[in-house]
Amino acid sequence: MKVIAVVPARGGSKGIPKKNIRQLAGKPMISYTLEEAKKSKYLDRVIVSTDDHEIAEICRGFGAEVMSRPSEFATDSAPTELALIYVLETLKSNEGYEPDAVVTLEPTSPLRTHELIDKCIETFLSTDSDSVISVTETRECLGRIVDGKFDFLIKGQRRRRQDRDPLYKENSAVYVTKTETLLRLGSVLGERPYAVIVREDEAIDINTPLDLVIVDAVMQWKRQGNHSID
48-96 pLDDT, tens digit per residue, is 999 999 999 999 999 999 999 888 887 777 889 999 999 999 999 999 9
- pLDDT tier at 230 (50, 70, 90 boundaries)? low
20: containing domain: 3-135+169-223
Whole-model pTM: value is 0.90
The answer to the question of residue 145 being in a domain is no
The answer to the question of residue 159 being in a domain is no
The answer to the question of residue 140 being in a domain is no
The answer to the question of residue 60 being in a domain is yes
Q: What is the mean pLDDT of residues 89-106?
A: 97
Q: Residue 91's domain is classified under what CATH number?
A: 3.90.550.10
The answer to the question of residue 229 being in a domain is no
Provide the domain count of the chain: 1
Return the amino acid letter for 230.
Answer: D
Q: Of 17-21, 49-53, 67-71, 160-164, where does mean pLDDT reach its minimum? A: 160-164
Q: Of 53-62, 102-111, 150-159, where does mean pLDDT reach its minimum? A: 150-159
